[in-house]
Amino acid sequence: MDDLDFMKSALAQAEEAYHKNEVPVGAVVVLDGEIISRAHNNSLNGMDPSAHAEIEALRKAAVVIGNYRIKEAIMFVTLEPCMMCCGALVQARLSELVYSTKDPKSGVVVSNGQLLESSFLNHKVRYRQGPLEKESSSILKQFFNARRD
């Protein structure tokens, strides 16, 4: 599997969230070339402000490996993470983040503040923009347009 395959899996999670009337963001955690967890946003239905796709995926991955430090793992997520999620990625000691589309409103990887570059962090998560930007952006636009109508 490659970046495109992993991001397709994350996008499938976003689509699942969309069908549950959740903000359509999906994430997968990959370790040694295998997906060890999949998740999507669950904040609305779960009444949990911390139930973003990234947090949910990290929680599941930690259970799978039996450790909250998920070193050497890569997260693929359909939307640039927010401040809370970036903090969780650092705390989990994730190796790398691959996000699909930027979030000019709340994203803090590249759009606002470049949090992962902060000198005070005790762990550096590598990051890059990955595939399916158009598809990830489109499902978010569909969701928010439908809510506005």
Q: How far apart are the first and last CA of the chain?
A: 39
> Strand 96-101 relative to strand 126-129: parallel, antiparallel, unpaired?
parallel
Q: With 80 as the cut, is the pLDDT of residue 13 above it?
A: yes
Q: What confidence score (pLDDT) does residue 149 get?
A: 77
pLDDT tens digits for 21-63? 999 999 999 999 999 999 999 999 999 999 999 999 999 999 9
Q: What confidence score (pLDDT) does residue 93 get?
A: 98
Q: Which is the catalytic residue, given 22, 54, 56, 80? A: 54
Dihedral over alpha carbons 19, 20, 25, 27 (to 10 degrees): -100
Task: List, in sequence order, every beta strand (DSSP E) within 6-50.
Answer: 26-31, 34-40
Q: What confidence score (pLDDT) does residue 132 get?
A: 98
Q: Are 26 and 13 in contact (CB under 8 A)?
A: yes
Read off the pLDDT band of 1 (50, 70, 90): confident
Is 54 annotated as catalytic? yes
> Strand 126-129 relative to strand 34-40: parallel, antiparallel, unpaired?
unpaired
Instruction: Enter the pTM of the model.
Output: 0.96
pLDDT tens digits for 65-107? 999 999 999 999 999 999 999 999 999 999 999 999 999 999 9
If 0-12 CB within 10 Å is exposed, 13-18 middle and 19+ buried, where does residue 104 land?
Answer: exposed
